[in-house]
Structure 1
Amino acid sequence: MKTFKSLTTRIKSPTPPFFKKIRKIGILLGAIGTALLSAPISLPAAITTAAGYLVTAGLVATAVSSTAVEKEEVTEPQGDNLQ
């Protein structure tokens, strides 16, 4: 359960400017891929395949950039330290 709490905390934390740009690019790639896949006309197989890859790449870029956070201060763990 700690992992879930950590993930939600990361997503709610402020995103660095570089990753905001990556997120916007990911959303754009996903939108282009979705538009190609949902076109009312029949497209060649190569374009349909490329559109699927665009959607996947956009989804991954958006998800990864959403979990990026500013560098936090590292705190020393409490208790026994093995050195």
Structure 2
Amino acid sequence: MKGIMERAAAPTPKFFKRLRNIGLVLAAVAASVAAAPVALPAGVIKIAGHLAVAGGVAGAVSQTAVEGE
């Protein structure tokens, strides 16, 4: 079994590269909504928090997927 650092440095399949990028975009959008200089409803802030977590998890899991296993 490969270590986490070796897996993160190994080539990532095309599907997981796309998934990682989508996760990064979700996290960036959530961060911008959470840091908005205007008052937003609590529900919107809560959803932004959930999107940030989901984007971070998607990015982390996608980065550790490797080709050839």
TM-score band (shorter)? over 0.9
Q: Larger relative CO (CA 8 A, sep 6+): 1 or 2?
A: 2
Q: Once the two structures are aligned, what percentage of the paired residues are identical?
A: 48
Gaps of 5+ in 1: 73-83
Which has more radius of gyration?
Answer: 1
Count of residues paired in the alignment: 69
Q: Normalising by the residue count of structure 2, what TM-score does the alignment of the two structures yield?
A: 0.95
- For normalisation by structure 1, the TM-score amounts to 0.79
* Runs of 4+ with deviation above 6 angstroms: none
Q: What CA RMSD, in Å, does the superposition of the two structures yield over aligned residues?
A: 1.3
Aligned equivalents of 2:68, 2:58: Cα separation in 1 = 19
> 5+ residue gaps in structure 2?
none
Q: Out of 45, 50, 66, which is 1:69 matched to? A: 66
